[in-house]
Amino acid sequence: MFKIVHPFENKMSRRETVIGLVYLPIHVVLLSLLLPKVFEAIGVENADIMNMVYYGIGIVVCFVCFWSFLRGGYDALLDKLGFCLISFLMALGLDYLLSYAVSLIMVGSSTAEASADVDLSEIAIVSSGVIRAAGIFMVPIVEEVLFRGVVFGSLHKRGRLLAYAVTIVLFAVAHTWQYVASSGDWGYWVYALQYIPFSIAACWLYERTNTIWLPIGFHMMINAMSFAVENMLANM
| 145-189 pLDDT tens trace | 999 999 999 999 999 999 999 999 999 999 999 889 888 888 889
Q: Which class for 32: exposed (0-12), middle (13-18), buried (19 or more C-beta within 10 A)?
A: middle
4 assigned to some structural domain: no
pLDDT at 15: 96
Q: Are the C-beta atoms of residues 183 and 80 closer than 8 Å to each other? A: no
CA–CA distance, 13 with 7 (Å, rounded to integer): 18
Q: Are the C-beta atoms of residues 123 and 135 closer than 8 Å to each other? A: yes
pLDDT at 99: 93
105 assigned to some structural domain: yes
C-alpha torsion sign, points 40, 41, 42, 43 = positive
78 assigned to some structural domain: yes
Length of the chain (residues): 236
188 assigned to some structural domain: yes
pLDDT at 49: 86
123 assigned to some structural domain: yes
3 assigned to some structural domain: no
pLDDT at 217: 97
CA–CA distance, 27 with 33 (Å, rounded to integer): 10
The total number of structural domains that make up the chain: 1
pLDDT at 235: 74
2 assigned to some structural domain: no
> Quick count: other Cβ atoms within 10 Å of Cβ 40?
11
9 assigned to some structural domain: no
pTM of the model: 0.88
What is the chain's pLDDT, residue by residue, as a tens digit (236 residues)? 455 556 888 889 999 999 999 999 999 999 999 999 999 999 988 888 888 899 999 999 999 999 999 999 998 898 899 999 999 999 999 999 999 999 888 775 544 443 333 333 443 444 567 778 888 999 999 999 999 999 999 999 999 999 999 999 999 999 999 889 888 888 889 989 999 999 999 999 999 999 999 999 999 999 998 888 777 776 77
Q: Which domain holds residue 214?
A: 14-234
CA–CA distance, 73 with 34 (Å, rounded to integer): 32
